Structure 1
Amino acid sequence: MSTTTTSHLREQWMAFRQQHPKTRIRDAAHTLQVSEGQLIAACTGPRVIHLRHDFPALLQRMPALGKVMVLTRNESCVIERKGIFEDVRVESRHVGVVVGKDIDLRMFFSKWTYGFAVQDDAALGFKRSLQVFDGQGHAVIKIYALAATVLSAWEQLVQDFTAATQPDNIALLPAAPAPVYAEQVDGRAFLQEWAALQDTHDFFPMLKRYDVSRIQALEIAEGKFARRVGNDCVKTLLEQAADTGLEIMVFVSNHGNIEIHTGPVHNILEIPGWINVMDPDFNLHLKTDAIAQCWVVEKPSADGTVTSVEVFDARQEMIVQFFGKRKPGHPELQAWRELVGRM
């Protein structure tokens, strides 16, 4: 993208902001027929700084920032969790893990391509944040500063990770081809292996071995380990969890990051087309008209059956997963099983 083009894009964004001040940048980028990452890069300068491609090292510095807000989204769902980075594990250059009572992440670094430090700018609609995008310019993770954030540590981090070059564009990479799955599956063998699971983390490798999609797997297991439920189940689940104080786990992911909330939910707000959790340190925004399928899924484990509610869009992509709060070595909550059993 030429300098002239990127300058024009920046001007387009500012003009769009004046006309549509409440439109989110992701939606604006779609309207302007560019990726969000391209739109951010076009604003490179005092308010947008490219970061070095050393994300594991950057993450190791996150605990020093104090309380922040971490945002992860896919096409149909946004999760926002406020808290402190505690145990950051980035020994693997491929998968990073953050564990803590507030911030809980599983990060796939092969998808982390472009990073930016963004400063507050009302005209551009920017808030102080660290933002990472994949090779197609789609947001993988965003980390926002809060009133309680240690800004001196934030500013030092940005200084230390500023890239040597600061172009006003990014080179988009071709997206990976859509996976092709097996047309014929030995359903009996597949279900036997499912029945023998000892750890929920072994479920995805099992799908890979049989070359099946998640929806294929659920259809094979329907009536034994899976049952389809109504697309309004998320509203019911959240409202009942809020009414009873039941602690749940909420997983929202894209191909570069999984963000997890564990704990209660309180303030459930439904507006046309959306179901939301609006709690002080946890927000969830789920586009209800994007829901195409919902399943209750049971997976055997050494700790007993683990039950999830899995929500998919029309492309059969996972939107969000719900579990009862649990830790390895402990059975899942009976109250969670009873809630799901009523669906």
Structure 2
Amino acid sequence: MTTPTPVSAEQIRAERADHAQLRDRDFADKFNITEAQLVAAFSGAGVTRIEANPDVVFPRLEELGEVMALTRNDSCVIEKVGRYSHYQGGVHASLVLTEEIDLRLFPRHFVTAFAVEREGKNGTTRSLQFFDAAGDAVHKIHLREASDLAAWDRIVADLALPEQSDTLEVAPRTPPEGAKSDPDKVEVLRAEWAKMTDTHQFLRLCSKLKMNRLGAYRIAGEPLARKLPTDTVTPMLEAVREQEIEVMIFVGNRGCIEIHGGPVRNLREMGPWQNILDPGFDLHLRLDHVAEVWAVNKPTKRGDAVSYEAFDANGTILFQVFGRRTDDNDSRPAWDAIVAALPSLQAETPAEPETA
């Protein structure tokens, strides 16, 4: 994507009035600006710049009561209704962990934030929106009818920044890394992978071997990683629905990963989108963006953790699905059987190391 074009706030507001039907993200793409620059252009007109540090903001969110948490990447959106609580901060990673809202936050990507109030045909909408250095959204929180508006007013007043400029400088976007592997280290990869006792050890192993997730999958081979056809997404979700099993669906970007833990009930395919439309949980996936799919087996001390993982053409992960684990077991036999029944696609082993 090209570098966002410098545009004045006045120009942005004028164009927005002429294209009111477009979603923020689509408008920003159309006019070669970032979503954060679009929101910033309305500072002082329903938009307030606020503190972006999760350690400052997220402990306050419980005051809002019921809200909707939204996280997305270019191809997949997840929305969960619930309450924020049990925030645990950290320098490199933080988390929110409730029955409904389960997040992993990476604070260095929470660079700019806004409180946004807009008048629409259904009344006033309110949201907190967080963006990375490039001006792309990492997480949004939308108030609902049951949310506490007095708490909203307090939070916005307390977190408002002295500087309320309607222009925003952004950094160039970091290009996608793509698959990165080293076939010369495949035996070490397989041996170390087989000895894992926790799923979180996998990315550390990749880093040690100077690979990444997709690169490791491409050379590991079965039974560790099995390539699947891209048209298995809907059959997989249909099987989860029909067997009424609980899964964990991970959707994220560089700054935030949001997780659904529970069943899948209502699937509705519309054009290129596959949608889950359940009470308190929506997911929207561009099926035509799924370019590569893998069934992955990661051993743990509580049993094998089997996942279904989809990537786009740039090698960026779109979503992951696991069987929902319990306190003492990472293995879900019904889920494992669903993945095992999906057809294989012959994976091509790279002849030489791939680089980003």
TM category (shorter chain) comes to over 0.9
- What is the DSSP-based 3-state SS (H/G/I as helix, E as strand, rest coil) of the residue aligned with 1:260? strand
Say if 1:326 and 1:332, in contact at 8 Å, map to a contact too: yes
- For 1:263, the equivalent position in structure 2 comes to 262
Q: Deviations over 1:223-267 (max 9, x none)?
A: 231111111222112112112211111000100000000001111
Q: Letter of the aligned partner of 1:46 in structure 2? A: A
Alignment match, 1:163: 161
Q: Do the aligned partners of residues 179 and 2 (structure 1) sit closer, same or farther apart at CA in structure 2, a change above 3 Å counting?
A: closer
In structure 2, C-alpha distance between the alignment counterparts of 1:168 and 1:45, rounded to whole Å: 8
Task: Identify the match of residue 171 of structure 2 among 152, 165, 173.
Answer: 173
Specify the alignment match of 1:194 in structure 2.
Answer: 193
Residue 102 of structure 2: aligned partner: 104
Per the alignment, in what secondary structure is the counterpart of residue 119 of structure 1? strand
The answer to whether the 8 Å contact 1:136/1:172 transfers is yes
Does the Cα contact within 8 Å between 1:252 and 1:258 map onto a contact in 2?
yes
Equivalent residues of 1:56, 1:93 under 8 A apart: no
Tell me which residue corresponds to 1:44. 43
2:13 matched residue in structure 1: 10
TM (norm. structure 1) is: 0.94
Is the counterpart of residue 229 in structure 1 residue 232 in structure 2?
no
Cα deviation, 1:23-58, whole Å, max 9, x if unaligned, reads: 321011100111111111111113111002433121
Shift of 1:3: 11
The one-letter amino acid paired with 1:106 is R
Which residue of structure 1 lines up, in the alignment, with residue 130 of structure 2?
132
Q: Residue 328 of structure 1: CA displacement? A: 4.4
Cα distance in 2 between the residues matched to 1:324 and 1:4: 47
| Alpha carbons of structure 1 residues 184 and 2: separation in structure 2 relative to 1, 3 Å | closer
CA–CA separation in structure 2 for the residues paired with 1:324 and 1:2: 44
Matched, 1:113 2:116: no
- Give the direction of change, closer, same or farther, for the CA distance of 1:69–1:95 in structure 2 (3 Å limit): same
2:92 corresponds to which letter in structure 1? Answer: H
Matches within 5 A, 1:300-311: 300-311=299-310
Paired residue secondary structure (1:168): coil
Task: Report the 3-state secondary structure (helix = DSSP H, G, I; strand = E; otherwise coil) of the residue aligned with 2:118.
Answer: coil
Give yes or no for the alignment of 1:203 onto 2:179.
no
> 1:182, 1:340 → 2: CA distance?
25
Aligned mates of 2:6, 2:310 — CA distance in 1: 42
Alpha-carbon distance in structure 2 between the residues aligned to 1:327 and 1:294? 25
Distance 1:313 1:178 in 2: 10
Provide the rounded CA distance (Å) in 2 between the counterparts of 1:184 and 1:223: 15
Other structure's SS at 2:99 match: coil
SS at match of 1:211: coil
Distance 1:238 1:341 in 2: 14
SS of residue in 1 equivalent to 2:120: coil
Find out whether 1:327 has 2:326 as its counterpart.
yes
User: What is the CA–CA distance in structure 1 between the aligned matches of 2:282 and 2:168, rounded to whole Å?
Assistant: 30
**CA shift in 2, pair 1:143/1:88, >3 Å:** same
Aligned length: 337
Q: Tell me by how many angstroms 1:280 deviates.
A: 1.7
Q: Are the counterparts in 2 of residues 3 and 168 from structure 1 also a CA contact under 8 Å?
A: no
Distance in 1 separating the partners of 2:192 and 2:165 = 51
- Following superposition, the deviation at residue 121 of structure 1 comes to 2.1
Matches for 1:279-294 after TM superposition, within 5 Å: 279-294=278-293
In the alignment, is the contact (CA less than 8 A) between 1:185 and 1:210 conserved in 2?
Answer: no
SS at 1:158 equivalent? helix
* Distance change in 2, residues 1:288/1:156 (3 Å): same
CA contact (8 A) 2:300 2:330 kept: no
Question: Kindly tell me: are residues 176 and 4 of structure 1, through their superposed partners in 2, closer, same or farther at Cα, counting changes over 3 Å?
Answer: closer
The separation in 2 between residues aligned to 1:40 and 1:138, in whole angstroms, is 11
Structure 2 CA distance for partners of 1:182 and 1:322, relative to 1, 3 Å = closer
Q: Which moved more, 1:325-334 or 1:249-258?
A: 325-334
**Paired-residue identity, %:** 35
CA distance in 2, matches of 1:257, 1:281: 19
Q: Using the alignment, how far apart are the partners of 1:182 and 1:106 within structure 2?
A: 26
- Please tell me the residue identity of whatever aligns with 1:143: I
Alignment of 1:54-69 (within 5 A): 54-69=53-68
- Residue of structure 2 in register with 1:278 after alignment: 277
What does residue 139 of structure 2 align with? 141
Partner SS for 2:38: helix
